Amino acid sequence: MSIIEQTTQTAIRLLKATKAQYIIVMSDGTTHIEGDLQLAEVKTRTRRPSTLPHGTYAALCRPHLNIAVGDVVEFDIPQGGSNKSLHSAVTAFFSHEWGVGSAKTCFNKKTNKVELLRVG
């Protein structure tokens, strides 16, 4: 008996002792079921196709890496982009570069731009 089989049998024995319901699906497709549970269907994730070339948002952000604390930068929505995707990209880019909490972003409805404030 392999280590995988031994570990699985030990887990099943412990689960039965606690009167738990379970479904265990092994990598080879073997299924162990206790109780009246149903295995949920696995949904595949699909990505929405991008309307902009890869790196468009990063190219907008890169020139502003060296702004000082307290400075504000406004980003125009590129042709084919959306305010949500730009806002998300700006937040992610600067959080990665400066650290989480080092910048605040918002979408200004009056100017139709994403604003970035460096706070740390």
Summarize pLDDT for 75-108 with one digit per residue, the tens.
999 998 899 999 999 999 999 999 999 999 999 9
Q: Are residues 68 and 103 in the same domain?
A: yes
- Strand, helix or coil for residue 6: helix
Q: Are residues 2 and 29 in the same domain?
A: yes
What's the pTM?
A: 0.61
Q: Are residues 73 and 101 in the same domain?
A: yes
Query: Within the chain, which residues score under 70 in pLDDT?
Result: none
Q: Are residues 61 and 39 in the same domain?
A: no
* Distance between CA atoms of residues 38 and 52, nearest Å: 41
Q: Are residues 61 and 111 in the same domain?
A: yes
Q: Are residues 61 and 102 in the same domain?
A: yes
* Distance between CA atoms of residues 21 and 33, nearest Å: 8
Q: Are residues 81 and 42 in the same domain?
A: no
Q: Are residues 94 and 42 in the same domain?
A: no
Q: Are residues 39 and 64 in the same domain?
A: no
* Distance between CA atoms of residues 108 and 76, nearest Å: 11
Comparing CA positions, the residue from 28, 39, 109 lying closest to residue 74 is 109
Domain annotation covers residue 21: yes
Number of domains in the chain: 2
Return the pLDDT at 69. 95
Domain, as residue range, for 7? 1-46
Q: Are residues 80 and 61 in the same domain?
A: yes
